A and B are shown apart, each in its own frame.
Chain A
Amino acid sequence: MSNKPKVSGFMNYLRKERIPTIFCAGCGNGTVINTFFNAMEMAELSLDNISMVSGIGCSSRIPGYIKCDSLHTTHGRPIAFATGVKLGNPDMDVVVFTGDGDAAAIGGNHLIHAARRNLDLTVICVNNSIYGMTGGQISPTSPKGSFASTTPYGALEAPFDLAKLVSGAGATYVSRWTTVHPLPLSNAIKKGLQNKGFSFIEVISQCPTYFGRKNRMRSAVEMMKYMKTHSVVKKKAKKMSEEELEGKIILGDFVNRNWPEFSEMLCEQVNEKSEKGLIDAIKSAYKTDL
C-alpha cells in the first residue's frame, strides 16, 4: 500500500503523560486521532501551527491528548470560540473536534453560521448517535427507532443528515466516512485541512458502551461490522433507489468547491481601510505601543 500510515511516530504528537485516554475500550475516538495525524502528515501541516478547539462530550476530549494549543470550551460552542481564534490570528490552522450532540443539538446554530460564512476551519464531527459522556441519551443524529436512556420505547424523531445540512449551509468541503474506513477518512481530513474555507468531516463512529448496548450490538467489533456492511459510497448510492438506501450510511465527498473564504475577505477589507493592516493586530495584546 503506497499511502501506508506511519502510525509508530504518532505517539510523539501526544501529551504522553495523559494517556491512556479516558475513552472506553473500542471507542472510535482513538481511531479518529490516528487518522487526524495521518492526514496532518499528508497535508504537511505541523502541530506548531495548529490550534484545536472542542466543546463538551467524549470526542471533545480529543484535543486534550494532543500536544498543541488546545481550547476545551463549553457545550456546543467550540465553533464560536474557533471563529475568534481564526480571526484573532488568521495565520493559524484551526481544527474543531466536536460530536453529534455538541455540533448538531446545542451548537447547531454556530455550525450552520460558520459554514455560511465559509470561515477557514476544519471541523471534525465524531458522530456516534448518542450522548456518551452523560450516559447514553438520544441525540439529533440517532436513527428513528433507536433506543437510548431518554427514548426507552424507541426514538420517534427523524435524525439530521449532518453532511447534507452543512453542505446546504454553505461549507466548501464536506465529507463523510466511518471509523472502519481509516484511509479514505485520513484522505478526507487531509482535504479538509488543505481547503481554504469551511470544511466539515463527519465521522460515523461506534459507542459500544451506550449505543451498542442499548441497541443490541454488544461490542465495538459488531458495531464496526455493521457500519462496514451498511455503508455505500456516494457514486454507488446515486444508482440506488430510496428504498435500497434506507438505513444506509452514504460515504464520500458531498461538496468540494472553491468559494471566497471569510477571514481572507475580512483581512482584505481591513488592509484596505487601515494604514497598518491586520498584520499589526496579530498578538497585539502583548504590545503597549499601538
Chain B
Amino acid sequence: MIKIDQNLCKGCDICTEFCRKNVYEPSKTLNRKGVYLPVPVNIEECKKCNLCAILCPDLAITVEEDHE
C-alpha cells in the first residue's frame, strides 16, 4: 500500500521521476490545492525500497509493508 497525503504533497514530481520501477504517474487532474498528485499506477512493481518516501521533501508518502 502506498499512501499519499493530499494535504502535504506539493506536486514536485520527484517520486514519479526517481522511482526505479516507474510506480507513479502524475494524475490528470488538479486536486483542490492545485496540485497534480502522484498516482501509484504500477503498485505491483513496487519493491518497497522507500526511496520515494525518503526523497519526498514533504513527508507525504507512506509505503506500507504488506502483512501476510
Interface, chain A (partner B; CB < 8 A): 1, 4-8, 10-11, 14, 19-21, 23-31, 33-35, 38, 179-180, 182-183, 186, 208, 219-221, 224-225
Contact = CB atoms under 8 A, between A and B. Distances in A.
Interface string B31-68: 00001000000000000111101111111011110000
| Prevailing SS type, chain B contact patch | loop
14 contacts: A4-B49, A19-B8, A20-B10, A26-B12, A26-B57, A28-B57, A34-B53, A34-B54, A34-B59, A35-B54, A221-B13, A221-B17, A224-B14, A225-B17
A42 to B, nearest CB: 13
Given A4-B50, A219-B13, A220-B14, A30 B57 contact: yes
Contacts of B14: 26, 220-221, 224
A221 B62 CA distance: 20
Contacts of A5: 50, 53-54
Contacts, number: 87
A7 B63 contact: yes
Contacts of B58: 19-21, 23, 30
Contacts of A23: 57-58
Given A25-B10, A26-B10, A26-B12, A8 B53 contact: yes
A221 B61 contact: no
Contacts of A14: 59
Give chain B's interface residue range (CB within 8 Å of chain A): 20 to 34
A4 B46 CA distance: 14
Contacts of A180: 18
B13 A30 contact: no
B50 A7 contact: yes
A10 B11 contact: no
A279 to B, nearest CB: 39
B49 A31 contact: no
A31 B8 CA distance: 14
A34 B56 contact: yes
